[in-house]
């Protein structure tokens, strides 16, 4: 339990926050693409890299209006959080939503994220 109660989201240390981290993941990471998502994964070369992986999201206006983009972001964050056993240790994960994500369901996004992350883990 945190100060804010039963908060179950991703903490600051579990999120990518700087543009340079997004650019590095896209430039040097491994890529997998699905119907609704593109996922990049890159290992971190930092002293504290043994911590949980960090997640970064990009959902452009091509996906839809603000309500739709925010819904897709919530779904991806929650899917990633629930895949706690599949989270990468010491890696940065960048997820880019494609326009098809707007018409997908939470279950479809969760399944695709799980499949793409496991595919990246195997490579």
Is 116 domain-assigned? yes
Is 82 domain-assigned? yes
What DSSP string runs through 38-99? Answer: EEEEEE--STTTTSB-EEEEE--TTT-SHHHHHHHHHHHHHHHHHTGGGPPBSEEEEEEE-G
Is 6 domain-assigned? no
Is 4 domain-assigned? no
Is 2 domain-assigned? no
Is 5 domain-assigned? no
What residues have CB less than 8 Å from 59, skipping those under 6 apart?
69, 72, 73, 76, 96, 97, 101
pTM listed for this prediction: 0.86
What is the extent of the structural domain holding 61? 12-122
Domain count of the fold of the chain: 1
Is 1 domain-assigned? no
Is 7 domain-assigned? no
pLDDT of residue 122: 79
pLDDT of residue 46: 66
Please check the confidence at residue 6 and state whether its pLDDT lies above 80.
no
Tens digits of per-residue pLDDT, 25-82? 999 999 999 999 999 999 877 666 557 788 999 999 999 999 999 999 999 999 998 8
What mean pLDDT, rounded, does the chain reach?
A: 86
Tens digits of per-residue pLDDT, 75-110? 999 999 888 665 567 789 999 999 999 999 999 999
Query: Which CATH number goes with the domain that contains 88?
Result: 3.30.230.10
pLDDT of residue 43: 86
d(CA 29, CA 42): 4
pLDDT of residue 1: 45
């Amino acid at each position: 339990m945190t100060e804010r109660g039963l908060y179950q989201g991703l903490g600051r240390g579990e999120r990518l926050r700087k543009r340079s981290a997004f650019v590095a993941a896209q430039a040097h990471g491994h890529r997998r693409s699905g119907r609704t998502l593109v996922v990049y994964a890159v290992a971190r070369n930092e002293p504290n890299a043994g911590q949980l992986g960090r997640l970064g999201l990009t959902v452009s206006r091509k996906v839809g209006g603000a309500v739709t983009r925010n819904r897709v972001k919530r779904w991806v964050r929650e899917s990633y959080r629930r895949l706690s056993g599949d989270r990468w240790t010491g890696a940065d994960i960048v997820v880019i939503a494609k326009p098809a994500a707007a018409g997908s369901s939470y279950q479809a996004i969760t399944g695709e994220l799980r499949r793409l992350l496991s595919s990246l883990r195997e490579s």
